[in-house]
A and B are shown apart, each in its own frame.
Chain A
Amino acid sequence: MEVLKEVCFLNPQRRVWRWRMINAMLFGVLGLAVVVCSTIGPAQISPLDVMVMLVRKLPWVGSMVPPGDWPESHETIIFQMRLARVVLAVLVGAGLASSGVVLQGLLQNPMADPYILGISSGAALGATAAMLFGLGMHTLGVFALPLTAFAGAVATAITVYNVARVGGRTPVSTLILAGIAVGSFLSAVTSYFMITSGQNIHQVVFWLMGGLAGRGWDHVLVLLPYIVAGLAVMLLNVRKLNVMLLGDEPAQHLGVDVERLKQVLLGAATLTAAAAVAVSGVIGFVGLIIPHAVRLVVGPDHRVLLPAATLAGAIFLTAADTLARVAAAPGEIPVGVITALCGGPFFIYLLRKKKEPGF
């Protein structure tokens, strides 16, 4: 009996320590992934060189480290090309995974993902309009595509939220159904545009599958504030998010202002995901699979799940994007294809492995 108690009862200190260990470990893996993925590519650059290059860029400590004997071009390749893309993958992966965690929790639905409110369809429509009809191309230049996509995504989310709102409440089921309905409608419009535009729709299809090819530091800078702000808001509400898993009314009975929390977190999750989609296109499965896989390991408590899944999403997409870059070199595979290829079977594995009801 004594032994059983020991096993059953969470030791608060040990639990917090365990959470910190998990996140520290994931943080380390992410650092490693960034370095390793930056070394991979046509030009052979050693991981050690990359590490030294990175450390030299750090404030204070950077000046203490002597430069290595690598050619100037290597530094250009790393900083101008590969690193920008790796950092972008980190941000997009983190944004999609964190958004997925929050939406699954908020909607109390294990099948939820960042696109559940139809923002992928909205972004696709916006992006299609930019690509096929040159919407905003003259005034916005390279940013026309991300901005129209972002606008499409946000407008869709707002529409869905308002459609689902009944008498001052937004029931979860209505929200999900409204997301499906509006999303399907917008997808149909996008398809119609693609078929009737008479243009080469190869670019559109490529965008729809999601990828980071050709993106640079500009995109990183556009995306960064959204990811940072979104994550901050989400992390501030992790305890309430735990309580939300009991359902809307029980959460309210535990002192959560449910409608307000929904607004705040739907807003944060949507903006984060919309910003990610705007720069990368529709990358599927990251926001669905990563939260599940991480929950399986660390449990459903958002205080550890949210940071851990964010880091895991970043690691996963960094790796997937590197694969997308090199697997069919000199061509590129859209990274969305890679994530779906990994994600689909993994999801089936999760479903088959699960013996207890619920997630």
Chain B
Amino acid sequence: MPFYLDVLGVECSYGAVKVIDGMAFSIKQGCFAGIIGPNGSGKSTLLRCISRALKPVRGTVLLEGESLYKMSPREAARKMAVVPQETAVNFPFTVEEIIMMGRSPHLGRFQAEGKRDYEITGRSMDLTNTRHLAGRQVTAISGGERQRVIIAKALAQEPELILLDEPTSHLDINQQVEILSLLQRMNREGGLTILAVFHDLNLAAQFCDLMILMQKGKAYRVGKPEDVLTVDSIKEVYGTRVLIKKHPVTGRPAVFLLTRREGEVPGKGRIHVVCGGGAGAAVLGLLAEHGFAVTAGVLNMGDIDWETAKFLELEMTEEAPFSDISDRSYRENMEMIQRADACVLVSIPFGRGNLKNLEAVSRACAWGKPVLLVEEREIGERDFTGGEATLMYNQLKEQGAVVLQGGAEVPEVLAGLLQARL
């Protein structure tokens, strides 16, 4: 099958500044394609170029093999509709009148709107859920409603291709999903080809079949969402570290943002965090963010603390999933505690399987290392050993372990403790 839209070596400039520099990609008919990229990478300019608002200096765009720039404005408008980021209408047209304007490329100079035009306008209103607004003035409706009206106008054009520039950036999440689901339905059921600029990577990944990641006016990567949205490509193009997971429901890639991490600060100190499950994730992140050298253990593979440590690239003691702490990992954990300047025990529940963690902490106490206990819940509530854990835990307190109510002040308190020891 030949491609529907071919962008061939397009170059675009604003004055002397080259904004699009040799962009090339092709999309098939019936494709839902998304353009992503950092601010200033040329996404909107590319879209303006394809929408004929801007003529490329070099290269061309073909629509079904025919140069887009050689078509008459009317001819192009019958095939392609454009939804800008925001539309300001200064004159008090009614919503219906605005949507009816979508019919203008199909009407002759003296031709009045006919029955068919009213039918199509009505259908566009139904699809976009704007029928109840029909008689309202477009100047007096909300931004979200106005965007739906503009999309209805675009649909009334009966286009084969629809171009959208961040169509949902001014909408709340409910409206975002509503609009994009509508477009997805038009795409799947109506065979509408869609090319949209997205600011939100997750929205793009959810809805697009094809993604075009732009960097400095070029296509950095074009392909399926899972091939385009990778930790490395995001790091390369956006210069930021993210976590990419499969969306639990849709299976599409989902991007999680992370706070900026400065890296380990020499001399700040080495901290070992005894955690597990998901109780320690926040403390791990916080300590790493503050520049401590952090180790963790003993962690069962696949749990949240393990994933967090993995992601933060921390050294840790691992144990097989859902397994008790073995002698081998206990020893490994002890070695880490030995190397650390201080030890933190977070609010984990204790059962027979991880009692060895508590043992390890008491050894740290015995060695005279500062020990912090984060006590978000009373030990009694999380003791599943029949009192043994409570006993050991209270001994820690007697041995001089510092108790904190929450994890937030851990870095500060630790810094103070380590300072005092010097």
Contact = CB atoms under 8 A, between A and B. Distances in A.
A239 B100 CA distance: 11
Contact of B77 (A108, A255, A301, A356): A255
A359 interface: yes
Interface in B66-125: 72-78, 80-82, 84, 87-94, 96-98, 101-102, 104-105, 107, 109, 112-113, 118
A250 B84 contact: yes
B233 interface: no
A8 interface: yes
Contact of B135 (A8, A249, A252, A356): A8
A220 to B, nearest CB: 30
A356 B92 contact: yes
A12 B113 CA distance: 8
Contacts of B112: 12, 16
A254 B90 CA distance: 18
A357 B113 CA distance: 29
A358 interface: yes
Interface in A150-169: none
A357 B90 CA distance: 8
A54 to B, nearest CB: 32
A9 to B, nearest CB: 6
A245 B135 contact: no
Interface size grouping (class) on chain A: 35 or more
A255 B74 contact: yes
B135 to A, nearest CB: 3
A239 B73 contact: no
Given A356-B140, A359-B92, A246 B101 contact: yes
A163 to B, nearest CB: 18
Contacts of A257: 72-73
A9 B105 CA distance: 22
A108 B89 CA distance: 9
Contacts of A110: 90-91
B113 A245 contact: no
A131 B48 CA distance: 52
B333 interface: no
A245 B74 contact: no
Nearest to B122: A9
Contacts of A7: 135
Contacts, number: 105
B137 interface: yes
Contacts of A187: none
Interface in A3-27: 4, 7-10, 12, 16
Contact of A245 (B77, B93, B109): B93
B29 interface: no
A112 B245 CA distance: 55
A67 interface: no
Nearest to A16: B112
A29 to B, nearest CB: 24
Interface in A48-79: none
A242 B101 contact: yes
A240 B111 CA distance: 12
A246 B81 CA distance: 14
B224 interface: no
A301 B97 contact: yes
B96 A252 contact: no
A256 interface: yes
B52 interface: yes
A33 interface: no
Given A12-B113, A242-B93, A356-B137, 4 more contacts: A110-B91, A246-B101, A250-B82, A358-B139
6 contacts: A7-B135, A8-B132, A239-B107, A249-B53, A255-B104, A257-B73
Interface of B: 48, 51-53, 72-78, 80-82, 84, 87-94, 96-98, 101-102, 104-105, 107, 109, 112-113, 118, 132, 134-137, 139-140, 157
